Amino acid sequence: MRCIVAVFLLNVENIVTNTRFFVLLRADFRVMYSIRIGNRLLECKTPLVMGIVNVTPDSFSVHCSSCKEAEVMSVVSGMLQAGADIIDVGGYSTRPGAAFVSGEEEWNRVSVALRAIRSTWSDTVVSLDTFRSAIAQRAIEEYGPLIINDVSGGQWDENMFDVVSRARAPYILTHTRWVTPQQTLSPAGDDVVSEVLHFLEERLDRLHRMGVADVIVDPGFGLGKTVEESFTLLRELDVFHTLHCPLLAGLSRKSMLFKPLDITPMQALNATTAANTLALAHGADILRVHDVGEACQVVRIYQLAFPDEMTCKSISV
């Protein structure tokens, strides 16, 4: 019966209604998605780990706070040695209260990191965390194929989908209620799962019609959502596999973890590990984290606990 329900979940489309009764059921296999990056194929045979490299002076993390190439290389080297599958480079912090960063400054920051990575680890899969289409386009032109990780889901720059389409770049489609970089909020829906699913479904359809075949979906934990809403999304993460895309969970040191525990982000590693474990149990294909080694341990322990789930059904997207 569980297998029948799992197949049903993987093939039913356009589910926008509340599907909480599915949450406690685990599929007997993981779907193996494939993402094309230039002439390469990134296969999600097992859950992947994406290491966050924030080239920003105001990040809560100590990573690359000076925005210097030597520091970037040290951080990236450590992440790759710890087992990172993807390196995610960002030069504009979107945490609440973060300072505005001009396009020129953002480019200066991320280009340092991209240049360092490409010159030393040319085969590393890199994603660029930006909502600006001009930065995405220039980065692809100068540094080759990249995954574009857009926290705004295309809302903050109307040209982003066009750039991604022309470049045939993989795209991380994220839900946020912030309708501007200054975090102006859009109204919340009555059911956060239905709201997020509808948003992702509508934007995914637009991307597919523009020829963007390789899309990763991210429900956007904490992005304009309450702690309770974020945990609802975590409990019901399985639902988003109805979109037939790899599913990214970005939970690392988020406010949904440290606020209810009354701790700081720097103290939230254990909470992050717990949340990442739950995300894997509910179908996450990619964990976006600050602490790569610990996340890789989570993936390995999960594999040992549920080896049957690692029997993959292959699907190319």
Given strand 147-150, what is the order of strands in its sheet?
215-218, 171-174, 147-150, 125-129, 86-90, 48-54, 286-289, 248-249
309: pLDDT confidence band, cut at 50, 70 and 90?
A: confident
CATH of the domain at 86: 3.20.20.20
* Angle, CA 313 vertex, CA 312 and CA 314 arms, to 5°: 105
Please indicate, yes or no, if residue 77 is contained in any of the structural domains: yes
Please indicate, yes or no, if residue 7 is contained in any of the structural domains: no
Please indicate, yes or no, if residue 33 is contained in any of the structural domains: no
Please indicate, yes or no, if residue 173 is contained in any of the structural domains: yes
Residue 150 belongs to what domain range? 46-316
Please indicate, yes or no, if residue 99 is contained in any of the structural domains: yes
Please indicate, yes or no, if residue 204 is contained in any of the structural domains: yes
How many domains is the chain built from? 1
Is the per-residue pLDDT at 156 higher than 80? yes
254 is catalytic: yes
Provide the 8-state DSSP code for 111.
H
13: pLDDT confidence band, cut at 50, 70 and 90?
A: very low
Catalytic residue of the set 45, 109, 254, 313? 254
Phi, psi of 26 (to 5 degrees): -110, 135
179: pLDDT confidence band, cut at 50, 70 and 90?
A: confident
Question: Whose CA is closest to 218, among 198, 237, 205?
Answer: 237
Cα(94)–Cα(152) distance, integer angstroms: 10
Higher pLDDT, 130 or 307: 130
Question: Whose CA is closest to 234, among 207, 260, 206?
Answer: 260
Q: Residue 224 has which token pair?
A: 């304009």
Q: Residue 40 has which token pair?
A: 């390469």
pLDDT (0 to 100) of residue 64 = 56
Cα(42)–Cα(56) distance, integer angstroms: 28
Higher pLDDT, 69 or 228: 228
Please indicate, yes or no, if residue 41 is contained in any of the structural domains: no
Is the per-residue pLDDT at 25 higher than 70? no
288 is catalytic: yes
Please indicate, yes or no, if residue 37 is contained in any of the structural domains: no
Catalytic residue of the set 132, 177, 203, 288? 288
18: pLDDT confidence band, cut at 50, 70 and 90?
A: very low
Enter the pTM of the model.
0.88
pLDDT (0 to 100) of residue 45 = 85
pLDDT (0 to 100) of residue 62 = 45
pLDDT (0 to 100) of residue 172 = 98
| CB neighbour class for 83 (10 Å; exposed up to 12, middle 13-18, buried from 19) | middle
Q: Rounded mean pLDDT of 255-283?
A: 97
